[in-house]
Amino acid sequence: MYKTQTAPMGWNSWDCYGAAVTEDIVRQNAAFMAEHLKQYGWEYITVDIQWAEPTAENHEYHPFTELCMDEYSRLIPAVNRFPSSADGKGFAPLAEYVHSLGLKFGIHIMRGIPRQAVHQNTPILGSTQTARQIAKTDSICHWNTDMYGVNPEAEGAKAYYDSLFTLYASWGVDFIKCDDIARELPHEETELILLSRSLQDCGRDMILSLSPGPALLEKAELYKQTSNMWRITDDFWDSWPQLYEMFDRAREWCIHAGNGCWPDADMLPIGPIKQDYDPSLSTEFTQDEQITMMSLWSIFRSPLIIGGEMTKFDDFTMGLITNEDILKMHRNARHSHPVWQKDIDGTEHILWTAVSSEGGQYAVIFNTGEQDSSVRIPLQDLEIYHPVHSTELWSGQTSEIAETINVSLKKHGAAVFYLN
């Protein structure tokens, strides 16, 4: 199975354009990334859900609407939204453009086979079976009407998934975000295994990312054996309660990160988002909350997938995603885990630690309570029993620490220390 040494970094169109992103927007964001972010490690450009839907307008789906499909029951890009896909070229031209920028190209898919293929009973490439014969009759997505699940026991089921990934490989796809699958276990477990096998058989290295969460902790080994990353929450948006809850999820999943397996805390809703509704909308997270989010995602080694419209990012947002020390922690952290969660100075704090693959140790202290605080963290809480040199990675401030880290924190804020 294809594996990456570090968690994927990139951009995805959902947070800013929902189901309605267009080729122009994708190209603009890709160009921006290539120019401003590539050197920091950002590389994936992913077109999210319903690129086969010609009439998509925003984050809402049109139930039971007609999708663009080829003669083999496979969805293809809507030409009105992705003009370069005309003449049966699919996403190949767009992928080629992204590759030309030195970046990688990803697409969203839904588990299963289009309902319209099933109703029209269209052919499956490489099989004498037809769409109706491989559909699983009672397997539907609960929030979108595009697909039926595939019955993994059916003759033709593997041929269908093989035909999909062969097509995507021919387009030059590097990243598959597969939806309606991560939290559907154990019900759809065999379909996940089938789909993963087809992807691995297709002859091209692709990341397999599973959505939506929450993934099931008791299925951790299965996710690790079939995919590269899997969502540990339902859709994550710019609200503190969701961010606060991520600490619980990260604690439960942290031991499963590493070596090509990345529990996924979801996209970063930063900068301008929900542009399909109103171009003036942007994240409601405070700057401290964004620091907290970026610090937690990085020490936890979640994939980092930007959700905002990058071409309009302000300086703060650019600073957030181009801090070299933080991104180094994202690459080099090993064996990350929380140390404790407790009240200090009248407000709740959470301490995380990790070692660095280059030596030294990381410590991140989060103020998850509702008031600012001043905290003292004994080095022995980190099992350090000697003086260390400390660098706070957001401020760059350095100091020598004999026994205790002292730090002031804003409510919902964080500080990241590299100790060596």
Q: Which is nearer to a copy of itself, 101 or 330 (CB)?
A: 330
> From the CB of 413, what's the least distance to a copy of itself, in Å?
21
Stretch touching a copy of itself by CB under 8 A, among 92-100, 166-174, 177-185, 247-255: 247-255
Q: Is 346 in the site for a copy of itself (CB under 8 A)?
A: no
Q: Is 187 in the site for a copy of itself (CB under 8 A)?
A: no
> From the CB of 392, what's the least distance to a copy of itself, in Å?
22
Stretch touching a copy of itself by CB under 8 A, among 45-53, 175-183, 275-283, 338-346: 338-346
Angle at CA of residue 253, ends 224 and 335, nearest 5°: 90
HSE-up (13 A, CA, CB side) for residue 40: 21
Residues 197-236 that bind a copy of itself (CB under 8 A): 221, 224-225
Partner residues linked to 140 by β-bridges:
148
Q: Which of 140, 124, 122 is nearest to 64 (CA)?
A: 140
Sheet of strand 113-114, all strands in order from the earlier edge strand to the far edge: 113-114, 147-150, 135-140
Stretch touching a copy of itself by CB under 8 A, among 7-15, 72-80, 138-146, 176-184: 138-146
Amino acid at 42: W
Measured between alpha carbons, how far is 35 from 310 in angstroms, rounded to an integer?
Answer: 11
Q: Which is nearer to a copy of itself, 141 or 419 (CB)?
A: 141
The residue from 39, 58, 128, 137 that contacts a copy of itself (CB under 8 A) is 137
Measured between alpha carbons, how far is 138 from 387 in angstroms, rounded to an integer?
Answer: 62
Q: Who's near 108: CB < 8 A, 6+ residues apart? A: 14, 46, 47, 48, 49, 50, 51, 177, 178, 179
Stretch touching a copy of itself by CB under 8 A, among 106-114, 154-162, 335-343, 409-417: 335-343
Bridge-based pairing of strands 147-150 and 135-140 is antiparallel
The residue from 143, 280, 315, 402 that contacts a copy of itself (CB under 8 A) is 143
The residue from 340, 358, 389, 404 that contacts a copy of itself (CB under 8 A) is 340
Instruction: Provide the H-helix boundaries in 206-278.
Output: 220-226, 240-253
Stretch touching a copy of itself by CB under 8 A, among 102-110, 155-163, 271-279, 332-340: 332-340
Q: Is 380 in the site for a copy of itself (CB under 8 A)?
A: yes
Q: Which is nearer to a copy of itself, 248 or 372 (CB)?
A: 248
Stretch touching a copy of itself by CB under 8 A, among 36-44, 255-263, 314-322, 405-413: 255-263
Q: Which is nearer to a copy of itself, 6 or 286 (CB)?
A: 6
- Is 383 in contact with 347 (CB distance < 8 Å)? no
Amino acid at 164: L
| String marking each residue 106-125 x if it binds a copy of itself according to CB under 8 A | ---------xx-xx-x----
Q: Which of 41, 61, 43, 42 is nearest to 51 (CA)?
A: 61
The residue from 241, 383, 395, 400 that contacts a copy of itself (CB under 8 A) is 383
- Could you count the other beta carbons within 10 Å of the beta carbon of residue 133? 16
Stretch touching a copy of itself by CB under 8 A, among 74-82, 187-195, 337-345, 404-412: 337-345
For 189-217, the DSSP string reads HHHHHHHHHHHHHSSS--EEEE-SSPPPG
Measured between alpha carbons, how far is 314 from 271 in angstroms, rounded to an integer?
Answer: 7
> From the CB of 152, what's the least distance to a copy of itself, in Å?
16
Q: Which is nearer to a copy of itself, 99 or 115 (CB)?
A: 115
DSSP class of 384: -
The residue from 259, 278, 396, 402 that contacts a copy of itself (CB under 8 A) is 259
The residue from 129, 145, 242, 391 that contacts a copy of itself (CB under 8 A) is 145
Q: Cα separations (Å) of 167 from 14, 89, 332, 355, 397?
A: 23, 10, 35, 41, 51
Helix axes 92-100, 23-36, angle to 10 degrees: 20
Q: Is 355 in the site for a copy of itself (CB under 8 A)?
A: yes
Residues that bind a copy of itself (CB under 8 A): 3, 5, 63-64, 115-116, 118-119, 121, 132, 135, 137-138, 140-145, 221, 224-225, 251, 254-255, 258-259, 334-335, 337-342, 353-355, 357, 380-383, 385
